[in-house]
Structure 1
Amino acid sequence: MRKLCKNIIVLYGLMTFSLSVVAQVDTLKTSTLNLLKGKVLEGDTIPHVYIKEVQVSPPWKFKNKRQHKRYSRLVINVKKTLPYARLAKRRLDAIALALDTISGEKQKKQYIKIAEKELFEEFEKPLRKLTFSQGRMLIKLIERETGDTSYKLIKDLKGGLSAFMWQSVARIFGSNLKTEFDSEGDDRMIEHIIMLLDNGVL
């Protein structure tokens, strides 16, 4: 029962702001052509290519075996939850666009209700497999990717009462929907791991 409740909290946190169907996300993707630009230098046309910036980070220096063990656990949890957090970002962008095309509060609420049901069916099973620590990691990474805490996202979409209720339930299990990501402080190690993942090192 405890595992069910804690995973429902995580599921609800993701669902409340990722309420757009996969098809809607796909329609936002536009095909782009890799055009090679030229630069004229002393009469000659030189290819001019913009290369994506790659952040370089030195290996993490561990103070002791305990910190190394914590780092290893964080790698597992980040790998598991970062895709969900980034999916949430894409869904949030999609729902914002979708709601802009719907007139009337009643119609918007109906849209949210239907989409929420569809997403519950889609994500219930995979999110139930998250551990308690992965659930807390997901809440933190959602804030990193979207710029808003899960509490604020729930409040914006479902209202202050719903946000208060789910925050109260989350606190019972040691979680906090108001958790913010601190890349320069407590979450420096997590930020380091994400950077290595993005660069294909991990």
Structure 2
Amino acid sequence: MTHYLCIVMERLSIISLTLLTTLLSPAIKAQGYYAANISPDSNTPASTIFLMPNVYPAVVLEGDTVACMWLKDFIKYSPLTFRNTKDQIAYTRLVRDVKKTLPYAKEIAAIILETYEYMETLPNDKERQKHLNRMEKYLMDQYTPKMKKLTRSQGQLLMKLVDRETNSSSYHIIDAFMGSFKAWSYNLFAGMFGNSLKTRYNPFGEDRVTERVCVLVEQGAV
């Protein structure tokens, strides 16, 4: 039994090393990218390897220098079973809509973070307001043509995904940056189209299937 386990562990090690080698093929081909204090001709075990423009720790395996890195968690879901064709079509449509709106949600989240960090460097409220006005105009010019191409359901999904990426509803984001009156006005306008800026994202409740699709899209699995 012990001998059998040793064989299994050895094979798993070989498989893992093969996968790592495949993922890091540029590193294997570019043995010259060593740390500055280590020569490629040196017998000293390498502790760092450069994969330009990033730097990773490295280990020596049987005389070969292999870069090491942490890979993101990969979530494996059980296959879905659909009750009928209608449910399957709805899921396919959800995948399509997430692929279309999730990049926008991530862009918006990045802009919000960048705007907040930049505003922290401004000297007074007047300068902050001027910057907000510029950002509002930029966002309107940049995203209005794109938003017009979204369906009502895609618009509703986008607002939920903004909440997913920022942990704040669109209403609270506008309220924080531009004031409660403008947030109220925008929410009233959204309501005319059946949307609400106060929509929240619930990955463990009604949005659990959407969360599954988001994760699969982020992993490149769909």
**TM-score higher than 0.5:** yes
1:109 maps to a residue whose letter is Q
- Indicate yes or no: 2:55 matched with 1:34: yes
Matches within 5 A, 1:149-188: 149-188=169-208
1:67 is aligned, of 87, 90, 107, to: 87
**Distance (whole Å) between structure 2 residues aligned to residue 110 and residue 174 of structure 1:** 32
Aligned partner of 2:149: which letter?
K
Deviations 1:16-74 (A, max 9, x none): xxxxxxxxxxxxxxx962312449xxxxx997542222111122221222211111111
Q: Counterpart of 2:96?
A: 76
CA RMSD of aligned residues (A): 2.1
Structure 1 residue 200: Cα displacement: 1.3
Change in 2 beyond 3 A, CA 1:52/1:34 = farther
The CA deviation string for residues 136-186 of structure 1, in whole angstroms up to 9 with x for no partner, is: 110110000100000100100111111112222222322111111111111
> What amino acid is aligned across from residue 95 of structure 1 in structure 2?
T
In 2, distance between residues paired with 1:48 and 1:141?
33
Distance (whole Å) between structure 1 residues aligned to residue 121 and residue 67 of structure 2:
42
- 144-153 or 170-179, which deviates more: 170-179
Indicate yes or no: 2:124 matched with 1:104. Answer: yes
Amino acid at match of 2:73: E
Residue type of the alignment partner of 2:214: I
- Give SS of 2:83's match: coil
> How many aligned positions are there?
168
| Bigger Rg, which one | 2
Query: 2:149 maps to which residue?
Result: 129
The normalised TM-score by structure 1 is 0.76
2:67 and 2:112 mapped to 1: Cα distance?
38
Normalised to the residue count of structure 2, the TM-score between the two structures is 0.69
Gaps of 5+ in 1: 1-30, 40-44
The counterpart of 1:54, out of the listed 74, 85, 99, is: 74
1:15: which partner in 2?
none
Question: 8 Å contact 2:174–2:182 — kept in the other structure?
Answer: yes
1:101-121 deviation line (CA, Å, top 9, x unaligned): 101111110111112212322
Alpha-carbon distance in structure 1 between the residues aligned to 2:201 and 2:212: 13
What residue is the counterpart of 1:91 in the other structure? 111
What are structure 2's unaligned runs of at least 5 residues? 1-51
**In proportion to residue count, which structure has more helix?**
1
Give aligned-pair identity as a percent.
31
2:158 to 126, 134, 138: 138
CA contact (8 A) 2:109 2:165 kept: yes
